[in-house]
Amino acid sequence: MKRMITTVALLLLVGVAMAEDEPKFFVGTAATFSDYKGDPSYPIDDSGLGIQIYAQARANSWFAIEGGYFSTGEFTRDIDPGNNGTVDISLTGFNIAAVGFLPIFPDAENDLDLFGKLGLYDFDIDRTFQEGNSQIPSSLGHSTGLYAGVGIVLNISSNIGIRTEALYYDVDNADLWALNMGVQIGF
């Protein structure tokens, strides 16, 4: 019974998607401005510049599934007062989310889409100690959890949009905020 309900729901979703005359798949890239605030056990408080690459499958004008790659860039902190060294950490990995859209001025030539998203991420956390000319890379392991965000897409044509979003990642022992600004192309 559960399989039958799932199959019927998917067929209805495909039917709705085929009925609309809009691009169904999007790919995009964005510059990522990230802010990392570690807790007292790992007190790094820094900002970084990274990249986001994503693909999106739209079911209709108000719902999509999105998956992508995310890299924060490096966050740096002095090792200890009095020592000449730093520790850098960076987070890289993949995410998947459900995205809900609210089209604004949908019949205008340049319309806007407000959106919210909720999803899961899986990041590798890398650490590098630097002292003088020496670098010691290591891994802090994996972090998997929830993330959420809101954003806006300015559709400058039926296939090209300029996208800005703010995201929050619930990372182990830290808060990670990201502001992404980029472009997406529809097919």
Please give the chain's pLDDT, 187 residues, in tens: 455 455 545 555 555 445 455 668 999 999 999 998 987 777 788 889 999 999 999 998 899 999 999 999 888 877 766 667 778 888 899 999 999 999 987 776 678 999 999 999 999 988 887 777 777 777 778 889 999 999 999 999 889 999 999 999 988 888 899 999 999 999 8
41 Cβ neighbours under 8 A, 6+ residues apart: 173
Q: What is the model's pLDDT at position 8?
A: 46
pTM equals 0.79
Q: What is the model's pLDDT at position 7?
A: 56
46, 72 Cβ separation under 8 angstroms: no
The architecture CATH gives domain 23-186: Beta Barrel (2.40)
